[in-house]
Structure 1
Amino acid sequence: MQEQVFDRCHIINGLLIDNQENEARQELIKLLDFHNTNQLAYNPLVNHLIRETGLFPYLELETSNWEERFIYNAFKVDVGEENPLTLHREQSFLLKKLLEGKNIAVSAPTSFGKSFVIDAYIKIKKPNNVLIIVPTLALTDETRRRLYKKFAHEYKIITTSDVELSDKNIFIFPQERAMNYINIVESFDIMIVDEFYKASSKFDKERSPSLIRAMIKLGAKSNQKYYLAPNITSLENNPFTDDMEFIRLDFNTVFLEKHELYNQIKNNDEKSEVLLEILSKNKGKSLIYAGTYSNIDSLTILFLATYEPVKNELLEMFANWLSKNYDFNWSLTKLVSREIGVHNGRLHRSLSQIQVKLFEEGEGIRNLISTSSIIEGVNTSAENVIIWRNRKGSAKLDDFTYKNIIGRGGRMFKHFIGKIYILEQPPEEGLTQLSIPFPDEILGDLEESKYDGLLTKEQVAKLKFYNDEMAELVGAKVYEELKSESIFQSSNSDLIKAIAIDLTKNPDEWNGLYYLNEFKPENWDRLLYKVIKLQPGNWDCSYKTFVEFIKIMAYNWTKSIPELLKELEDYDVGIDTFFLLERNVTYKFSALLNDLNTLQKRILKNKQYDISKFIKWCSNAFLPKVVFQLEEYGLPRMISKKIHESKVIDFYDSDLTIHKVVEKFNEIGKEMTIEKTNNLDEFDKYILNYFFDGIKIMNA
């Protein structure tokens, strides 16, 4: 066996001599996997090759010579954990650039370990205000959990709106929420944009304008910028990154072993057989990329027809908990009892987080079916990644997204090799030149004099015309105030103009708008129809269904989800549609209401309407505000309700903020919270353990 090791070391060394470092690193990672499988100690030659390829964290000190031990210690940094961690060579390279104050845009593989660089920067530089923009709320909480443990003793970790600032703050937001602090924070020491490729309309047509808006306005208040993305070959000239150095790092810490099985698959039946065979042979965790909701449904039917429920106490508890708190007939309830989970962008945040936790536990979920939410919303990985469909929604997968998905295979120190099973022909391999065009949608939110350098002549003319129209509708002075405050939540200037025109031309149709503030859902119909028709085709259902959903959802706190679903049966709203429509109410509908309220207070000022109360109800899903925010922290509403009813914490307390409630939980403690709360079942307690782990301060 040692002879085999020596032969492979010889090959790796030859690649290094030929300046083929990436290939040498890939071969070395396979060799490390061989050592791991056969429980072999590294000999000095293997350690030497680890040093030569820059994979310093993999060094085995017991068998290293003094040079390798010196390197291992020289690359150690404090990342806020109990012990310093050794960075690999390219992590250290990036950290050095950041500490020098450089603005950098980085493309690095999924397995690169970018979070350690951010943590080390905060620990060493000790900035006062750090802004981290992430693409999803799921990634918000994952980042919060990591940073809270390390830095909550010296920083206020802020993930929600309307939070009183401390002397030192770390803000973690999706771009829309970040804009709430544009006039509150004087300056940021650094703005970090994770997955910044989403600023391109090619990758996120719906939300790219709001990300660019945040990059422009918050970037102007930031002393340093650090943008991160995977798999970008080059960055096209654009006004948003022209002051940044683009660095492409092709530095993997795991090896992806690809099994291209699509050539031997003739039809869907054969594909199903191949999938089941892969799952039966591989005992490790598998991430199955389904691509669309309909494909998740197809896989659900296949798995329920193939597998029987297994004996797994933890997952049996989870299945019973889902049945009781959501829907006993829900497909997820049945899948969980077969060690299978589902990850998509519609689920309640806490449900997605619980499933990812169970997926990462040895005795938890074995197989996780996912849409692209798994690459956008969470940093998880698996020993096996299976590409079931070469689609992302209605479109075919592009090479960029494909590489991002397969990059979830393998994990440092756990799986040196990620096994990738490809069941449909992958996209052609190509280069990704990231283009970030300026979106016309945000023109109306810009001041012409301040941003004319970013705009084309046509955009300058369009902006001037838009400004003149809006000044005529709401008054020049009022419009200038609105723009300077960046008060609109929508990034669509045409929608803002359409609302202003409707209010100006049809003021009487908005009579009684303030009645929405009265908790009488039966009286809301006319005004709800009026509001949602401002943005036709935006609600994923008919107007009638959406209006009835809002009226029934108004009882979200007083009734259980099974009770609400019973009332929604007449409108053909099941559990999956419930998640989708609730999300639409809390984000799209609330943003529309907010912009409507902002404009009507100026245009219909004689009526003296203000629907802020109704907006708060909608944006918090008609739950107490802190209860809704706690769901992002991994605590489901039904457990918060038990805590409230047991008088452990009063969620009706108007002075309660998310930071105050976290303090209260830490004061009471996990054991006492569980002891004092009535009617908790065993899985409630499991979730509370997970929740308390996310509010624990490491250095406290």
Structure 2
Amino acid sequence: MDTFIECKNIYKLINNNQLAKARDSTISLLQNIKDSNGIYDELINTLIREVGLYQYIDEKTSNWSDRFAKEMFKVDTGGERQAIHIEQSDVLRRLINGENIALSAPTSFGKSFIIDAFIAQKSPKNVVIIVPTISLTDETRKRLNKKFSHSYKIITTPNITLGERNIFVFPQERAVMYVEIIEEIDLLIIDEFYKISKENDSERASKLQQALIRLDHKAKQKYFLAPNISTIKQNPFTKGMVTVRKLDFNTVVLKSHKLYKEINDDLEKKKTHLLKICQKDKNLVYAALFKEIDILRELFLEKYIIRNQRQILLFSEWLKKNYHPTWTLSDLILRGIGIHNGRLHRSITQLQVLLFDDQESGLDTIISTSSLIEGVNTSAKNVIVWSFKSGKANQNLTPLSYRNIKGRAGRMFRHFIGNVYELVEPKTREQDSIQLNIEIDGSLISGITDSNYLSGVTNDQQAKSETFIEKIDAILGTGVYKSLRLHNQLNTSNEELVYKIAVELKDNYGEYKSLKMLHAAKPEKWDYILGKLIFLNAQSIRWAEDREGKQYKDARKYIQVLSKQWTTSISNLLKELEPDEIGIEDFFTLEKKVCHSFASYLHDFNVLNRIINPLDFIDITPFITKCSNAFMPGVVLELEEYGLPRMITKKIHHVNVIHFNETMNIDTAIVNFKRVGKKLIVERCGKFIEEFDEFILDNFYENI
């Protein structure tokens, strides 16, 4: 490559006002220089300045005017001054001036970086950041904690006392929990805002809409972030906001490799291409469906040899010892392959991302569902699209979701060029045609009082909702149901389910007298009432497509076995579940179901029962709490979000370094960990602490 000729060609593009092409060509040039271990001479730095990528200017080799230009674009991002590019500067200026902005820009734009600069410069009292996934919650908390923990309380879990200044980072489900607690919001941020449309995320849209409807009037200013949206159709959620489009400003260049043309639906060719790509660099393989992940698991186990890097050897052994000796994930880890999905325990997914971002660990490829690949930044150079399914009801990815997935390839400063290998044909529209269409979910109507949002409700939606409300009011009393919704006392917005539960409690409460057995210490005494509760709302615990009715009997057995989790190892729990053919993957799926949808349903059952049967009400709150905490002290799962697996928490509890009880919250736990320190934990735990446990503790202490 002749650098001078390349620079000359780029300047021609600039002179012809083709800035987007010039910028992409400049980024490609920087990758070529990096690959050849070259340096940026004065000409290159001036070129970088011309295309607005000030953060890439090398201050050691640039002339004084380019260094001065970079200095002018440096901002405080929380403890240090960093350069931002020209379009980031424009968005930041508008936010500081008080504008409400809906920003549409490529994945590599640096939308989140603007948040840090805003907080550092404006020092707002309360900032709320709503993100789509727990993985993105973890990443955002870590980033903000390093920069702002000295002046802000970073809150990511429920039931935390607010500080004088707070940054809340939640997925939409948790944001709803804080509606009654947060009185005023200086800046309300919604990341991956496109998921507010049911067209783009049928599972999360309703909760995200609910959170925004309830928080909107408390927000002084709003900043919504989304990738690659051309237009936003008029809707109440973005009313009064300025739509800012920066669709052609990239800091990383994506190269698409349309291998599906050569593969032509031949599975063996598809496998061959995958194995070849994954032999080098860092790779994210998108495979939405679990049956596809199974195919990839078998492929890598058969074709890849065991590696000898110490970290993955230790991690594999740790997984075998703490989960199951024959778990295939531990064998994949030995081959440098990880799996990331929403079923796994939080600490396992975090550890895999941590090792993946380490260039020397040996973990170079992660097979992922949308749990990782939508929103989380990693060191991946390549994204390999194995499937075009979304993982939801066997639907295809939407255009926005697909572009977001492709945007995970490449990373500023590390990989100027990211590769997207399409092993299947993407049947999607072109970017220019992408419009965000947002319709209010009809199930939310009864909880809406704001006229702005009511204006977005159709007559048919209103009529359907009022029909169910009349039926529910006939049982609960006039206005009671709307009051429950208004004060966030029900988790579900499914009025058909609320009515079904209410009728059952009114007409057949005599059959639920054994609710009191849920207070029994022996799990076998829960058997009958668990069966009744599961039968009333089977969807709350539905977890398998291939077990038909047997899955509900299995779920009942699972809950009884799970109740021993705080005193028994997971490997022993799995042994007890073997006769029911509940394996480790099923264990993860069921635990998530029990902690979330089943516990949520029981909460609503309890609320309605208190109203319908006040004289002989049987309160099952203690059992609901146990379910939501997976039958461990509540703080244990919260510590997992900070990177501390339950196994290590158990060890610390066992040797009485820190005593974890039912009333301890995350604030108290972190204070105790800081007081005790890692050294004392290792000393007191002695033989119970392994080498990989110490690696985990190091990471955990860095997080807190």
Q: TM-score, normalised by structure 2?
A: 0.95
Which of 480, 498, 501 aligns to 1:499? It is: 501
Q: 1:120 to 1:683 in 2, by over 3 A?
A: same
Q: What SS does the corresponding residue of 1:173 show, helix, strand or coil?
A: strand
Q: 1:272 to 1:448 in 2, by over 3 A?
A: closer
Q: 1:668 maps to which residue?
A: 676
Contact 2:442-2:457 at 8 Å conserved across structures: no
Which of 602, 613, 617 aligns to 1:593? It is: 602
Q: 1:398 to 1:478 in 2, by over 3 A?
A: closer
Which of 162, 165, 175 aligns to 2:159? It is: 162
Check if 1:271 corresponds to 2:270.
Answer: yes
Which of 190, 198, 206 aligns to 1:193? It is: 190
- Residue type at the aligned position of 2:491: Q
- Residue type at the aligned position of 1:454: G
Contact 1:402-1:427 at 8 Å conserved across structures: no
Offset of 1:381 from its aligned partner? 4.0
Q: What SS does the corresponding residue of 1:418 show, helix, strand or coil?
A: strand
Q: 1:59 maps to which residue?
A: 57
Offset of 1:450 from its aligned partner? 8.0
Contact 1:210-1:491 at 8 Å conserved across structures: no
Alignment of 1:541-580 (within 5 A): 541=544, 542-580=551-589
In structure 1, C-alpha distance between the alignment counterparts of 2:450 and 2:119, rounded to whole Å: 36
Identity of aligned residues (%): 45
Which of 87, 90, 93 aligns to 2:90? It is: 93
Which of 74, 93, 100 aligns to 2:72? It is: 74
Q: What SS does the corresponding residue of 1:606 show, helix, strand or coil?
A: coil
Check if 1:349 corresponds to 2:357.
Answer: no
Deviations 1:465-522 (A, max 9, x none): 3333332221125335323312111232322222222212222222232331333311
Offset of 1:676 from its aligned partner? 2.4
Bigger drift between 427-436 and 684-693 goes to: 427-436
Deviations 1:576-596 (A, max 9, x none): 111111000001011101111
In structure 1, C-alpha distance between the alignment counterparts of 2:499 and 2:43, rounded to whole Å: 68
Alignment of 1:183-582 (within 5 A): 183-250=180-247, 251-266=249-264, 267-280=266-279, 283-364=280-361, 365-376=363-374, 378-393=376-391, 394-430=394-430, 431-447=433-449, 451-476=453-478, 478-538=480-540, 539-541=542-544, 542-582=551-591
Q: Which runs of 5+ in 2 are unaligned?
A: 545-550
Contact 1:192-1:226 at 8 Å conserved across structures: yes
In structure 1, C-alpha distance between the alignment counterparts of 2:122 and 2:103, rounded to whole Å: 20
Q: Which runs of 5+ in 1 are unaligned?
A: 696-700
- Residue type at the aligned position of 2:420: I
- Residue type at the aligned position of 2:186: D
In structure 1, C-alpha distance between the alignment counterparts of 2:255 and 2:374, rounded to whole Å: 23
Q: 1:677 maps to which residue?
A: 685
Q: What SS does the corresponding residue of 1:288 show, helix, strand or coil?
A: strand
Q: 1:449 to 1:22 in 2, by over 3 A?
A: closer
Q: 1:377 to 1:568 in 2, by over 3 A?
A: farther
In structure 1, C-alpha distance between the alignment counterparts of 2:177 and 2:441, rounded to whole Å: 21
Q: 1:451 to 1:202 in 2, by over 3 A?
A: closer
- Residue type at the aligned position of 1:491: S
Q: What SS does the corresponding residue of 2:278 show, helix, strand or coil?
A: helix
Offset of 1:8 from its aligned partner? 0.9
Offset of 1:402 from its aligned partner? 2.4
Offset of 1:436 from its aligned partner? 1.1
Q: TM-score, normalised by structure 1?
A: 0.95
In structure 2, C-alpha distance between the alignment counterparts of 1:246 and 1:535, rounded to whole Å: 42
In structure 1, C-alpha distance between the alignment counterparts of 2:453 and 2:381, rounded to whole Å: 48
Bigger drift between 55-64 and 574-583 goes to: 55-64
In structure 2, C-alpha distance between the alignment counterparts of 1:243 and 1:380, rounded to whole Å: 35
In structure 2, C-alpha distance between the alignment counterparts of 1:113 and 1:124, rounded to whole Å: 17
Q: What SS does the corresponding residue of 1:563 show, helix, strand or coil?
A: helix
Q: 2:47 maps to which residue?
A: 49
Offset of 1:429 from its aligned partner? 4.1
Deviations 1:53-111 (A, max 9, x none): 11110011223223221221111111113x21111112111111111111111112121
In structure 1, C-alpha distance between the alignment counterparts of 2:58 and 2:166, rounded to whole Å: 38
Q: What SS does the corresponding residue of 1:62 show, helix, strand or coil?
A: coil
Q: Which has the higher contact order (CA 8 A, sep 6+)?
A: 1
Q: 1:381 to 1:500 in 2, by over 3 A?
A: farther
Offset of 1:377 from its aligned partner? 5.8
In structure 2, C-alpha distance between the alignment counterparts of 1:189 and 1:498, rounded to whole Å: 41
In structure 1, C-alpha distance between the alignment counterparts of 2:260 and 2:479, rounded to whole Å: 63
Offset of 1:629 from its aligned partner? 1.0
Q: What SS does the corresponding residue of 1:669 show, helix, strand or coil?
A: helix
Offset of 1:274 from its aligned partner? 1.9
Which of 136, 144, 148 aligns to 2:145? It is: 148
Q: 1:275 to 1:462 in 2, by over 3 A?
A: closer
Q: 1:659 to 1:425 in 2, by over 3 A?
A: same
In structure 2, C-alpha distance between the alignment counterparts of 1:92 and 1:308, rounded to whole Å: 48
Q: 1:449 to 1:501 in 2, by over 3 A?
A: farther
- Residue type at the aligned position of 2:441: P
Q: 1:698 maps to which residue?
A: none
